[in-house]
Amino acid sequence: MRILIVPDSFKGSLSSIQAADAIAEGIKDLQFEMEIIPMADGGEGTVDCLISADRGTKMRDFVTDPIGRKIQAEFGILKDNKTAIIEMASASGLLLIPKGKRNPLYTTTYGTGELIRKVIERGFTRIILGLGGSATTDCGTGALQALGAKLLDKNGINIEAGGLHLKDLQRIDISTLNIYEDIDLTFMCDVSNKLLGDNGAAKVYSQQKGASKNEVQILEDNLEHFTRIVRKDTGIDIAKFAGSGAAGGLAAGLSLLFKSHFVSGSEFIINTTNLRVKIQNADVIITGEGELNSQTKFGKIPYKIAEIAKEYNKTIIGIFGNITEEAKKEYKQEFPYMLELCEKGISKEKAMQNAYLLLSGKAKKIFEELQLN
């Protein structure tokens, strides 16, 4: 029997590689033919997934994290030696910051801009940028400043970091940065939210990043101000395109400098890893991630995998850290076999602390129960 193990990360506890290893560990004694492919959709694990598929390499460099500390961030290099893979979360991600210090009024994407600049300085002309896991709502101003943009206040001084200071912008000058026009920048993301409004970067996502309800409106007002100044000085409306709200507006900001375009993160990974063919050739597919909820069907990798498995009439098993009550009813057809780590008195905190062992045990249990051997 051929088993295809293709989980996404269990955010905050296991990377997609660790999750795949845990599942494989649970069923290793059954002596199946196993293939492991760590999955991602633009967030954590994107570099690992793409360099694994391409047999590329991983590198590190020093950058500034969202609250101004120096850290080492990973990026991937594909075999063509022209393409770099960057997860913005590795430089500007929410999980880099202690919970008590998370606040998008002050967090910055400066480190993501540094990482982009450094791979360009190394000679790479194509960048694939995963936009998941952001700690920021600064409209990419930090990244723009790291790349040399002048975002000036009334005194002709660069504005300070964070969404709070977008209101201080009076003039933007990118006239000397045409060097970036020759760089192909691909945004990997399954979020189609625009920058502003009820479905925008501030109102939908900023509370998850540490903003209070009052601060959400401050961020919304500041994003509106920023877009007005940008439109006045450049003639470009960065708020109009689908996806401009991704990563706290990072995509909107970077679109000022680069020849950029969006791709669906999940579809990009599926195509790059030749996943359709691998699902066709497997007997059982195991996938999963941190939570199965009402948002899963909007482009999340496990849902996409379940759709393909159903298309080819393959057995699909979904193991998740947590499954909401609504999801248990909503996804019965996509995941006829669904298991969760948070059950029978196991709290979310305990499940996250013991995710590897719990995931391994769940994989073993479901195969024994279904007599898949």
Residue 345, pLDDT score: 81
pLDDT tens digits, residue range 94-153? 999 999 999 999 999 999 999 999 999 999 999 999 999 999 999 999 999 999 999 999
Residue 324, pLDDT score: 94
pLDDT tens digits, residue range 55-104? 899 999 999 999 999 999 999 999 999 999 999 999 999 999 999 999 99
Q: In the chain, what percentage of residues exceed pLDDT 90?
A: 86
Decide: pTM greater than 0.85.
Answer: yes
Q: In the chain, what percentage of residues exceed pLDDT 70?
A: 99
Residue 298, pLDDT score: 81
Separation of alpha carbons 149 and 296, rounded Å: 37
Cβ atoms of 321 and 335 closer than 8 Å: no
Q: Is the pLDDT of residue 371 over 80?
A: no
Torsion angle of C-alpha atoms 120, 124, 125, 127, degrees rounded to 10: -80
3-state secondary structure of 239: coil
Residue 151 CA to its chain's centroid (Å): 27
Q: Is the pLDDT of residue 237 over 60?
A: yes
DSSP string, 266-327: HHHHHHHTTHHHHHHT-SEEEE--SEE-TTTTTT-HHHHHHHHHHHTT-EEEEEESEE-HHH
Residue 318, pLDDT score: 97
Separation of alpha carbons 309 and 286, rounded Å: 10
pLDDT tens digits, residue range 250-304? 999 999 999 899 999 989 999 999 999 999 999 999 999 999 998 898 878 999 9
- In this prediction, residue 198 has a pLDDT band, given cuts at 50, 70 and 90, of very high
Residue 299, pLDDT score: 79
DSSP string, 200-230: SIIIIIGGGGT--HHHHHHHHHHHHHHHHHH
Separation of alpha carbons 217 and 215, rounded Å: 5
Question: Could you say which DSSP state residue 159 is in?
Answer: P
Residue 304, pLDDT score: 94
pLDDT tens digits, residue range 166-182? 999 999 999 999 999 99
- In this prediction, residue 372 has a pLDDT band, given cuts at 50, 70 and 90, of low
Residue 123, pLDDT score: 96
Residue 343, pLDDT score: 84
Complete domains list, the chain, with CATH: 2-39+273-370 (3.40.50.10350), 46-266 (3.90.1510.10)
3-state secondary structure of 86: strand
Residue 344, pLDDT score: 80
Residue 112, pLDDT score: 98
Task: Name the average pLDDT for the chain.
Answer: 94
Residue 188's CB is within 10 A of a number of other CB atoms, namely 28
Separation of alpha carbons 229 and 222, rounded Å: 11
- In this prediction, residue 30 has a pLDDT band, given cuts at 50, 70 and 90, of confident
